[in-house]
Amino acid sequence: MTTLTRRTVLATAATLPLAPAMAQQQPGMTTLVVPFPPGGSTDALARQLQVGLQARLGRTIVVENKPGAAGALGAVTVAKSPADGSSLLVTFDSHAVIPAILQRPPLDVEKDLAPVLLVGTAPYVIATNAQRPYRTFADVVAAAKEKPNTITYASVGVGTIGHLAMTLLAKRAGIEITHVPYRGGGPAINDIVGGHVDLICGSAALITPQIAGNTIRPIMQTGHQRLAVLKDTQIAAEAGFADFEALAWWGVFAPAGTPQPVVDSLSKAIKDTLSEPAAVKHLQETQQMTLIFGGPQDFSTFFARQIKLWGSVVQDNNIRA
């Protein structure tokens, strides 16, 4: 008797083509690896994909959380998986920082993974506790110049885009402010709401629910256009930081070497799933996401730019995880 294990299921799945006709064939399995703990925006995206892809691909879709090593642990898991569409990485903007932030990265994020789809982007938002006096980022700059290193800001971790964006802004403004890293958005939000730190730089998805509750006040956003829900909050360019942009982004990767027809089929299936009206509404309202749906080539170009931009900030400021 043959023992049915996850390995044998995946081996069987590897022999099945990714095509609409798959629904009539014996179903296989596809694992969506999320390199972060459950509960975050990337995990929510993967679970939203789970149901739609299951119907479109005729496969059993499993979401597996593999946090660790700044997201590299989950990325390595996918990179070492069969290049057949049976394992995908659903990840976040910090993926582009892996080459610079880790002294010995366990993978080459450009060579070991194949971009499938850039789902969307959202700006970062800098906010202050509602009891602090800051109304604009210019107020922060003035206070920091008067008393260097007395203003604190939270991020969701060392080397995250929120941390790097604030590092770059402080450098361009000629100020010194103190970084207080947290392990995730929940603890960071708790401390800005509680007044234990002066500022926070987090994705719009993290910040806007607290703004609605009047516990924190937005003072600047880092996209090129104002979000509708933050129509009264300056973008960085309006605050004197020309061409400055820091974006949260969400994307899907496959193992390098996955045949292009398989990558293209996956890209279309993911796009179609997230183009459903309910999915669009959810992503726009809960993540403040601008949907991009950039295909493999567009995603590859975007990703290379992100690696270059944030890698230089890490290196210039000697930042290490």
pLDDT in tens, 267-302: 999 999 999 999 999 999 988 999 999 999 999 999
Handedness of CA 56, 62, 67, 68 (dihedral sign): negative
Q: Are 6-121+249-316 and 122-239 equal in CATH topology?
A: yes
Tell me which of 3.30.420.40, 3.40.190.150, 3.20.20.450, 3.40.1640.10 is the CATH number of domain 6-121+249-316. 3.40.190.150
- Each domain of the chain, given as residue ranges in start order, spans 6-121+249-316, 122-239
Q: Which of 297, 203, 301 is nearest to 246 (CA)?
A: 203
C-alpha radius of gyration, the chain, whole number? 21
Determine what percent of the chain is predicted with pLDDT higher than 70.
92
DSSP state of 64: E
User: Per CATH, is 122-239 categorized as 3.40.190.10?
Assistant: yes
Neighbours of 215 (CB within 10 A): 17
For residues 195 and 289, what is the distance between their CA atoms, to the nearest angstrom?
Answer: 28
Interval 198-206 mean pLDDT: 95
What's the token pair of residue 139? 């107020």
pLDDT in tens, 15-41: 333 333 333 333 489 999 999 888 888
